[in-house]
Every structure is written in C-alpha cells, then in structure tokens.
Chains A and B, each alone.
Chain A
Amino acid sequence: MALLHLSGEANFDTVRLVGMAIRAVCTSAVSGAEAAQIELAVVEASNNIVEHAYSNVQGDIVLDVEIGEEKIVIALHDTGETMPTASQQSADLDFDPMNLDDLPEGGMGLFLMTSIMDERAYTSANGRNTLTLTKLLRGGENG
C-alpha cells in the first residue's frame, strides 16, 4: 500500500496542482482514462472547499491519498465552513437536453463525484471536515 500526503493553501492554483498530482499517482493503479476521471472528482471536491468551506476565510486544503490493492482512498480535509448535510444536497443531474432553459450552468460537482467514485463520505468533527472518496479496483486485474 502506498500513502501520500499533500497540502497547500486553498486556492484554484493549488487545486490545479492537486488535480495533476492525483492523476499522476492514480495511473499507477488504474488506466489513464480512469485516472483522469478521479482527477475530475478530486478537483470538484477541492473547488467546493475553496468556494464554500473557505468562502470567507483563508485556510489549507489537505489530502491523504492511499493507493491499495483493492481501492484508492482519497481523503480531503479542511477547517472551514461545514457543508450542509448530505440530505440537503442533490447528487442528481436531471435536465432535458432539448430544453435550453433547463440546462445546468453549475451544481454538477456532487453528481460528478458520486458518478465517478464508488463511495463518498463526509464527516465533521472538532472543526475539521473530511470528505472521503473511494474508488474500488477490480481485484485480480492489472490495470
């Protein structure tokens, strides 16, 4: 099992570096296409931290990445505002592709995270929020 710890000031420049780092390390366990998707999920989660958790204050974004035989687990930590409970958010993305007025211009992040990753868990304790994203790897296959 490989463990990696990343941290930096929460801003969109840091999110870029986090995304590129995540993609690179994930290619050790999954295909390039899958690594690109995991990058997308992590960037969406990180954008949320920059935009919402730290909307009014400065802070750090901290990631723990675990590449195991059976799964990739990426935990994102922040010490900003706690997200509303999961029940208040929508992981759905329902719209009529033929209806211009109905097309979403935002709010796709949670949908993407849950579509790409197998598990998503959010916890908050002692002023620290943790979003854990898990991608299960197909056992017995190489890549």
Chain B
Amino acid sequence: MATISTMKAANAIVVTVTEKRLDAKVAVSFKDEMSALINAGETTVVLDLSNVGFVDSSGLGAIVTSLKLIGRKGDLLVAGVKDDVMTMFTLTRMDRVFQMFPTTEDALNSLIAK
C-alpha cells in the first residue's frame, strides 16, 4: 500500500503522507516511493505531514534521505507538521535543516515568491 499521495502544482509536487505514523514499519516503503518520484525528475517537493501524528528516527531518516537525493537540484519543503512531530525535528535540530511551513499553501507561496 502506498504511503503517499501526490498532486502536481505549478512549480512543485505536493507529496502528502497518508500514514498516521511515519515509523519503522513504513519508512522503507516511504523512502522507495520518494526516491522513485525524485529519480523521475520531481526535484521540488512540498512534503505535507499534516496527517502524521508520530515520526520516529527511521521516518525522519527517510525524509533526510529524500533531501539528500534531491541535493542541489531542487528543494524539499516540509509543511503541516503537528506539534508533537515538530518536537522530533527540534530535538534532532532538523528544524534547522528543512524549510518548514504551517501549510502546503504557505510552502507553495514561498516558491512563487522566489
């Protein structure tokens, strides 16, 4: 079963994680699905985590892997992070690595502003 759903926007692809938990059970599937998108040329990604209530280190690691795969070819913006999940980003200082936005709209608007 897919862990994500996608929607094309003008200048990015919005990837919505459909799982409530981005954890060790689904991290490998998620990473593979993200890699397939990125390798197909989708290098500006808005990752919508608004459905996600829990992220463990394997889930976070899979997001980092996606960012590394995009590299300098594009951008990975993170949107809709719930408070409990934000703690994971701040504890690991990943909030300083990713551009984070309250909503996917905010993330897409930031791309237009560039």
Does chain A have a CB within 8 A of B57? yes
- Using a Cβ–Cβ cut-off of 8 Å, how many residues does chain A contribute to the interface with B? 32
Instruction: Count how many chain B residues have C-beta atoms less than 8 Å from C-beta atoms of the other chain.
Output: 27
Convert B63-90 into 0s and 1s, putting 1 for each residue whose CB lies closer than 8 angstroms to a CB of A. Answer: 0110110011000000000011001100
Residue A13 at the B interface, CB < 8 A? yes
In the bound complex, do residue B23 and residue A43 qualify as a contact, i.e. CB atoms below 8 Å apart?
Answer: yes
Contact of B54 with A108 in the complex, beta carbons under 8 Å = no
Chain A 62-103 per-residue mask, 1 if CB under 8 angstroms from chain B, else 0: 000000000000000000000000000000010101001101
In contact, B91 and A116 (Cβ under 8 angstroms): yes
In the assembly, what is the distance between CA of A79 and CA of B111, in Å? 51
Task: Kindly identify which residue among A50, A104, A107 contacts B24, using a CB–CB cutoff of 8 Å.
Answer: A50
Q: Does A37 contact B87, Cβ atoms closer than 8 Å?
A: yes
- The reply on B97 being an interface residue by CB < 8 A is yes
- A-side residues, CB < 8 A to B, are 12-13, 15-16, 19, 32-33, 36-37, 39-40, 43-44, 47, 50-51, 93, 95, 97, 100-101, 103-109, 111-112, 115-116
| Chain B residues within CB distance 8 Å of chain A | 21, 23-25, 54, 56-58, 60-62, 64-65, 67-68, 71-72, 83-84, 87-88, 91-94, 96-97
